[in-house]
Amino acid sequence: MTVPIEHESPGGRDTVGAVLKACALLEHFGADRPVWTLNALTAASGMNKTTVHRLMATLIHAGWVDRTGEGAYRIAMPVFEIGSAALAKLDIRSAARPFLSDLAAAFGNTAYLMVPAEQGAVCIDLLEGRNTLVVAGINVGSVLPYHAAAGPTVMLANSKVLQDRWIKEELPAITDRTITDVNELVQHLDKIREVGYSVSNSDYLPGVAAVAAPILGRDGSVLASISVGGRADEFEDESLRVKIDKVCEAGEHITRIVQALPRG
């Protein structure tokens, strides 16, 4: 019988197509489906059965895949050991960097990573987009009040500890749009927590708007926020909705990554 010839995936002479195909097969394994039969993996991958069999046999020989008693495939322990070693050296800033880059490139705005501190929300990383507006006054190391701007307020909304410490009868006005009334701020925070994100407009810097999502730990505590900010007129209607969706998606991805980090 003649076996169909599968061409290597494009990517230049430095790309090994067989390795890419093997990686594609491994991507089918997950918590929802940790075991695959040859027939099921063939159908899911779209590769021919001979190719799948040979690639999985190679992965078994390398120690990356095991066979079950019924002859199906499952991921072997070295994959988890390598993954755990990589996660052990990963911090929030490293985990968030690719998502900051993605947000800055997608919208041309500046993407921010902030973490909570006693004195306020601290910007620990940012990436500027292609747009001409550079948000002056927010740099790495800047400390922002929790009751203004999207990044700080989304952390305040998700932290009872910060709320008990920060919400007071007299809150300073940074601009004429800063929420300073305690009852109004509490309602605003309730809404942020309900929808899962924060939107700000000129409450910290005039003419500057932002969207932020929280990054949460295993116990639900707020670890950081990821946000994107720029000219207020770029945060309206459908453009705003797209930014909200993408920032929330980034926050959820980073949350899953940091929650997988080893304890200790």
Contact 227, 151 (CB under 8 A): yes
Question: HSE-up of 228 (CA within 13 Å, CB side)?
Answer: 30
pLDDT tens track for 110-156: 999 999 988 899 999 998 888 755 556 688 888 899 999 999 999 99
Separation between Cα atoms, residue 133 and residue 108, nearest integer Å:
9
The predicted structure's pLDDT at residue 4: 42
Please report, for the chain, the start and end positions of each structural domain, with discontinuous segments joined by +.
17-88, 92-259
pTM of the model: 0.67
How confident is the model at residue 115, as a pLDDT? 93
Model pLDDT, residue 75 = 81
Average pLDDT (226-239) is 92
Residue 221 predicted with pLDDT over 70: yes
Give 38's pLDDT tier (boundaries 50, 70, 90): very high
| Per-residue pLDDT at 255 | 92
Q: Cα separation of 186 and 179, whole Å?
A: 10
Query: Hey, what CATH class is 92-259 in?
Result: alpha beta
User: For all residues of the chain together, what is the average pLDDT?
Assistant: 85
Higher pLDDT, residue 152 or 81: 152
Question: Which tokens go with 181?
Answer: 């009334």
For position 45, what pLDDT does the model report? 92
Mean pLDDT calculated for residue range 53-64: 90
At 228, which amino acid appears? V
Does residue 47 sit in helix, strand or coil?
coil
- Give the full edge-to-edge strand order of the sheet including 73-75: 35-36, 73-75, 65-67
Which CATH architecture is the domain 17-88 placed in? Orthogonal Bundle (1.10)
Residue 10 pLDDT class (50, 70, 90 cuts): very low
Q: Per-residue pLDDT averaged across 199-215, rounded?
A: 94
> What is the distance between the alpha carbons of residues 151 and 210, in angstroms, rounded to a whole number?
8
Once rounded to an integer, what is the mean pLDDT over residues 192-199? 96
Q: Is 59 exposed, middle or buried (0-12, 13-18, 19+ CB in 10 A)?
A: buried
CB neighbourhood size of 151 (10 A): 32
